[in-house]
Amino acid sequence: MIVWINGAFGAGKTSAARELVDLIPNSTFYDPELIGAGLRYLLPQKRLAEVTDFQDLPIWRRLVVDTAAALLAEVSGVLVVPMTLLRQEYRDEIFGGLASRRIPVRHVLLSPEETILRKRIADRVEFADDPEHSERIRQWAYEHIEPYRAALGWLTRDAHTIDTSALTPHETAERMADAVRTGAATACEIVQTPEPTAETVAAGVLLFDEHGRVLLVDPTYKPGWEFPGGVVEAGEAPARAGIREVAEEIGIHLDRVPKLLVIDWEAPEPPGYGGLRMLFDGGLLPRADAERLLLPGSELRGWRFVTEEEAATMLPPTRYERLRWALRARERSTVLNLEAGVPVG
């Protein structure tokens, strides 16, 4: 399990986290800031110059998840993680990646009054022998108060909030420990599909708009975009599984059985088991239906119609190759139907 302590820069997350480790048995302190510091030595300066915050680096977000999983495999128990996350899509990606590894997250928000927050920032001295560096850090914290305010809407809905205005770090830690122990800080509602024990069969469905663009969805629980679809259940026909998954994921009920376009074998790659992957042709999704499309917030955070070229930048390489083969198969099927005089619907 992870206790993720969120809040504004300067809210006292790290001090409270170190106290919390003493209150939760078998817990370990994990600071993702160290990953950002390490990337300064690993990445070329040209790449580092492209971002102003290491959280904007996809490699940082991946390594945060991978390192957490590796730590828990090594020490087990609970990880206490003090880290500000103000962008909901980054929270989704990181917590979703943890969920896909069966690691539950208790999300806690430390939220002092702004006047208290500003005073705490003003009193911080990070580097006693380098006043200029300390001042830069204080300015960084001040500049992020407004983004923190803007994020409070989703943060307070997502996390268990503790007003720390009048609390010491130890008192804050006691409140967090109590919230975890009593269940007041519940596990985040990120989708966690049943863990496979062998190869799986998965069915994806391609849906198109009037311009021939294909629909992609953005899952919270794994990196990269995906096609609507999912794992075929025992005794279920793959095409029917595709119909069911489309209805469950985006609220669209297909009125006909989709045609099979591609069958691919995904080799096992631990911790994944691999298996058969199928793509079906779901046909045209009219604009009116697309406007009624619904997403389950705990599983999908977005959808888009994209061209094949755009899909190349959004899909992981293996999924993109499947799409390319599926589109070619669909084109051949359309040509053959036209040559045979069969109406194309």
Q: What is the DSSP string of 312-334?
A: HHHS-HHHHHHHHHHHHHHHHHH
* Termini Cα distance of the chain: 50
pLDDT at residue 101, rounded to an integer: 78
- For residue 229, give Cα distances in angstroms to 214, 244, 300, 309: 14, 8, 12, 22
pLDDT at residue 118, rounded to an integer: 83
User: Average pLDDT over the chain, rounded to whole?
Assistant: 86
57 contacts 42 by C-beta, under 8 angstroms: no
DSSP 8-state assignment for residue 54? G
pLDDT at residue 33, rounded to an integer: 92
pLDDT at residue 135, rounded to an integer: 81
Other Cβ atoms closer than 10 A to 5: 27
State the DSSP string of 13-52.
HHHHHHHHHTTSTTEEE--THHHHHHHHHHS-HHHHTT-S
Rg of the chain over all Cα atoms, to the nearest angstrom:
24
Give the pairing type, strands 200-208 and 275-284. Answer: parallel
Per the structure block, which two tokens stand in for 102?
């069966």
- For residue 326, give Cα distances in angstroms to 134, 210, 230, 271: 56, 18, 17, 27
pLDDT at residue 221, rounded to an integer: 67
- Looking at 101-237, list the stretches that DSSP marks H as alpha helix, in order from N- to C-terminal side: 114-123, 131-143, 145-158, 169-182
Interval 34-84: pLDDT, tens = 999 999 999 999 999 999 889 999 899 989 999 999 999 999 899 999 999
- Collapsing DSSP to helix, strand or coil, 65 comes out as helix
pLDDT at residue 161, rounded to an integer: 94
Residue (of 211, 197, 188, 184) closest to 308 by Cα position? 211
Length in residues, the chain? 345
pTM as predicted: 0.59
235 contacts 244 by C-beta, under 8 angstroms: no
- Which residues of the chain carry a pLDDT beneath 70? 125-127, 189-197, 221-223, 270-272, 296-298, 334-345
